[in-house]
């Protein structure tokens, strides 16, 4: 099972200080051979000013990362070609007609895949489409199923040997309806000929019904095997983390705890939540490794310094000063093994 992490662009494009960049890059090279770019591969970041890939797109952040990766024999996956969130498109996209939107999506996919052909390990081609209605997907007057089928066809047209996945929310939240809808979508896509190479499943865990924790082993087995047995496709865990603060994304009473206090989980009392996090990351890795159909596991956080504090604080291996956390100490032997 390949193991990797998601990384920030600013440590490769000159935005961060030299000292920070050197420290970040040094740790990355030492412990990871598989990485994914943060959201800077999405349309609002590379196509902010217009729809023409030749004159409007800004490829610099991606190019800098890929140059660094090539130098250090690191393999990069693309995150994300098409993100289904309604706020994940530049302003100009909403001014287009339905037909023009469809053409813009085709142009966008073909431009990315064509430019980075043979330099990307795999592409998250479509992200988080499951929550959205089937009709008029992305404002194109196409159904979600039909449009995603076409997206895979566009990508494969440019790079037939490329690896393209559908990525969506983690179904381990024991919400059977979410999991059933996701499985149904994958089946429809396959029936209509979409050449899906794998299923990407996010791993932002620790919400209800088990806040700040990973799910039980039984829940993990039941849900992940349901997805695999129902679709027959390999599974990548693409964005695994847990945090002590769920309030920014999913506020509810008790959605924040003090991570320095003792923390109890599954009948075990840990000195603090950070010690539990160390256990949870390693245990989740071990659960995934037992499943032959889980081919990749990516940790969402690398350092805490600038990692989505508004969303999921303290999910990384290193703290804000690049010092190892308990989770790193627990995982170091495993990470070392994956870079040999």
Q: What are phi and psi of 4, to 5 degrees?
A: -150, -165
Q: How many CB atoms lie within 10 A of CB 329?
A: 11
Question: Among 42, 54, 117, which Cα is nearest to 84's?
Answer: 42
pLDDT in tens, 94-104: 999 999 999 99
Domain boundaries, the chain: 2-337
Asked if residue 145 lies in contact with residue 119, where contact means CB atoms within 8 angstroms, the answer is: no
Please check the confidence at residue 253 and state whether its pLDDT lies above 90: no
Between CA 122 and CA 78 the distance in angstroms is 6
9-44 exposure pattern, b = at least 16 Cβ within 10 A, e = fewer: bbbbbeebeeebbebbbebbbebbbbbbbbbbbbbb
Local confidence band at 30 (pLDDT 50, 70, 90 cut-offs): very high
CA distance 39 to 322: 22
pLDDT at 301 (0 to 100): 82
The whole-number pLDDT of residue 171 equals 66
> Average of pLDDT values for 320-336?
94
Instruction: Look up tokens 């349309």; give the residue.
Output: 43
pLDDT at 27 (0 to 100): 92
> What distance lies between CA 23 and its chain's CA centroid?
24
Spelled out in words, what is the top-level CATH class assigned to the domain 2-337?
alpha beta
Question: Which pLDDT band, with edges at 50, 70 and 90, does 238 fall under?
Answer: very high
Alpha-helix residue ranges (DSSP H) falling in 116-248 = 144-158, 176-191, 217-231
Burial class (CB in 10 A: 0-12, 13-18, 19+), 276: buried
The arithmetic mean of pLDDT across residues 226-250, rounded, is: 92
Confidence band for 209, pLDDT divided at 50, 70 and 90: confident
| Percentage above 70 pLDDT, the chain | 97
Query: Does the pLDDT at position 183 exceed 80?
Result: yes
The pLDDT mean for the chain works out to 93
List the structure tokens of 156. 């494969």
């Amino acid at each position: 099972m390949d193991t990797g992490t998601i990384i920030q662009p600013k440590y490769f494009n000159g935005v961060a200080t030299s000292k920070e960049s050197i420290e970040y890059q040094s740790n990355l090279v030492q412990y990871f051979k598989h990485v994914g770019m943060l959201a800077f591969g999405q349309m609002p970041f590379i196509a902010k000013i217009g729809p023409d890939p030749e004159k409007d797109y800004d490829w610099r952040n991606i190019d800098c990362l890929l140059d660094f990766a090539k130098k250090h024999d690191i393999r990069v996956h693309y995150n994300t070609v098409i993100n289904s969130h309604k706020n994940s498109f530049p302003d100009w996209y909403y001014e287009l007609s339905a037909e023009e939107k469809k053409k813009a999506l085709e142009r966008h996919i073909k431009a990315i895949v064509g430019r980075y052909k043979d330099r990307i390990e795999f592409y998250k081609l479509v992200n988080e489409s499951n929550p959205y209605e089937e009709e008029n997907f992305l404002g194109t007057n196409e159904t979600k199923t039909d449009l995603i089928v076409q997206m895979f066809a566009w990508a494969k047209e440019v790079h037939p040997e490329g690896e393209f996945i559908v990525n969506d929310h983690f179904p381990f939240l024991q919400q059977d309806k979410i999991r059933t809808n996701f499985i149904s979508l994958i089946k429809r896509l396959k029936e209509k000929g979409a050449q899906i190479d794998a299923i990407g499943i996010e791993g932002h865990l620790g919400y209800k019904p088990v806040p700040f924790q990973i799910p039980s082993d039984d829940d993990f087995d039941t849900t992940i095997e349901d997805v695999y047995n129902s679709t027959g496709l390999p599974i990548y865990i693409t964005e695994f983390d847990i945090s002590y603060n769920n309030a920014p994304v999913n506020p509810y009473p008790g959605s924040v705890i003090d991570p320095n206090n003792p923390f109890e989980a599954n009948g075990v009392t840990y000195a603090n939540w950070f010690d539990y996090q160390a256990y949870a990351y390693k245990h989740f890795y071990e659960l995934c490794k037992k499943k032959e159909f889980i081919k990749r596991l990516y940790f969402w956080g690398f350092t805490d310094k600038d990692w989505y504090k508004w969303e999921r604080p303290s999910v990384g291996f290193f703290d804000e000063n690049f010092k190892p956390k308990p989770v790193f100490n627990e995982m170091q032997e495993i990470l070392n093994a994956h870079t040999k």
